[in-house]
Structure 1
Amino acid sequence: MSGTPPFPEFRACLENALDALGMQADHARIPALLGYLQQLQHWNKAYNLTAVRDPGKMLVQHVFDSLAIVPELRARWPRRALRVADMGSGAGLPGIILAICQPDWTIVCVDAVGKKTAFIRQAAGVLGLKNVRAEHGRIESMDSLQADLVISRAFASLSDFVRVAAHHRAPGGILLAMKGQDPVAERAALEAGTGWYVKRAVELDVPEMDASRCLLELDSTGPEGTP
């Protein structure tokens, strides 16, 4: 990217959010993060990528929300170059944010809506992200992406997520679902009907967002590794 960074009025807000997440070393990524926000606002007018129209709200509800998982993922995989599949990626969330923050990770953003994958390709090109690609298609019908980490954000119920996306895991890979308030009913349905379980739940503190958010790790082996 070149020229004047977009949305200079949001720079301090983004710096504060990164600091709150313990990501002080990521201040150098601010131009790319704001560049993504600029692309999202611009293309949303034609592509209807999100119901959120105000760029300040986009920053919190989409960018900050996606950034909130980065410290958790870094703590778990501090020195590993991961293959990540973002299922039902929509406007590239959290995939593009992960690609900006983790240039050594390979990100595949999957969506069944062509205009959304077209936007992801456009944004990745403008931002110079070589580690992200978009795949247009139905998740359940695609050949396995063999990802270390299969993730979704506000995509489907836990049961549906497992049903359509579990085959995209590489051996030893995991499924992660980003959710709002801990979905008790979805957990019960998952454990009753699929043989899968919520192995781990992490509460997320999204800067400037007054709402519950959590990250759920799903496993098919049951609590404490039992079959």
Structure 2
Amino acid sequence: MDNNNEQQAPTIFWRIDEWFPDLSPETKTRLKTYHEELIKFNRTVNLISAKTILVADALHFADSLLAAKIITQSHPQIDKIYDLGSGNGFPGLVFAIYKPTTQVVLVEIDQKKCEFLQHMISTLGLKNVTVENKNVEALGDNTVKFAITRGFANISRTILAARKIMPKGGQLFHLKGEEWGIEVGEIPSQLCSIWSPSLVGEYKLPVGAVKFGVVKTEKIA
């Protein structure tokens, strides 16, 4: 009896070309290569949860792309942005692929994840990305004007970690799920005197009905 059908590996989806037809061929190719390398490296380095591997195109790539579109369209003046706690490269590496004219700095304390990020930069031939293998707090005082973060920490802990590295007027973009409003409401009052939170935009993934939000905290003092 042939059991091959029973032993077939589950399908790992890739639907970015279908969902984002406006992307350039070079951008699509780079994103696909990133996806392939991510799946390969995930066997030895814990980059994404095993539960998200099959639909990483939606949960990681589409999520980062949609957020990058919102940020770049609402803040076209950004020429350099830091990805705090970059880890697997979401959203910073996707941002860099999508917007090659913007300099992106991936900040990550884990050495193995930094090695993966450096591998991706080299493999994709990206000239606009650098990696900083250090803690967020170790970045220079007042050196980070724009930053983005996804899955690093809740909003309160993130702005606390960024309090010295961002100057007055610095803007930090948080990629959050549908309960972003709860996190904003939990920001301690003493931090609200230093940071002003606002919603930049909301979006839905190409699959599912859950709303996601890009929340900005601007340093006002």
TM-score class, shorter-chain normalisation, is 0.7 to 0.9
Judge conservation of contact 1:180–1:214 (CA < 8 Å) in 2. yes
Determine the structure 1 residue equivalent to 2:8: none
Which residue identity does 2:170 align to in structure 1?
G
Q: Percent identity?
A: 24
Larger helix percent: 1
- Aligned residue-pair number: 209
Q: For the aligned residues, what is the CA RMSD?
A: 2.4
Which residue identity does 1:14 align to in structure 2?
I
Judge conservation of contact 2:105–2:129 (CA < 8 Å) in 1. yes
TM-score in terms of structure 2 length: 0.84
Determine the structure 2 residue equivalent to 1:17: 19
Q: Which residue among 122, 131, 135 is the counterpart of 2:132?
A: 135
Determine the structure 1 residue equivalent to 2:80: 83
Judge conservation of contact 2:83–2:149 (CA < 8 Å) in 1. yes
Determine the structure 2 residue equivalent to 1:218: 217
Determine the structure 2 residue equivalent to 1:39: 37
Bigger Rg, which one: 2
Unaligned residue ranges in structure 2 (runs of 5+): 1-10
After the TM superposition, which segments of 4 or more aligned residues of structure 1 sit over 6 Å from their partners?
none
1: CA distance between counterparts of 2:18 and 2:167?
Answer: 36
TM-score in terms of structure 1 length: 0.82
Which residues in structure 2 correspond to 1:1-227 (within 5 Å)? 10=14, 13-19=15-21, 24-52=22-50, 55-78=53-76, 80=77, 82-144=79-141, 146-169=143-166, 172-195=169-192, 196-221=195-220
1:160–1:120 distance in 2 versus 1, CA, 3 Å: same
Unaligned residue ranges in structure 1 (runs of 5+): 1-6, 222-226
For 1:31, what is the secondary structure of its paired residue?
A: helix
CA-to-aligned-CA distance 1:163-200 (integer Å, 9 cap, x gap)? 11243335533111001113333212215241233223
CA-to-aligned-CA distance 1:90-133 (integer Å, 9 cap, x gap)? 11111110111111111111112111111100111101111111
1:209–1:32 distance in 2 versus 1, CA, 3 Å: farther
1: CA distance between counterparts of 2:126 and 2:149?
Answer: 20
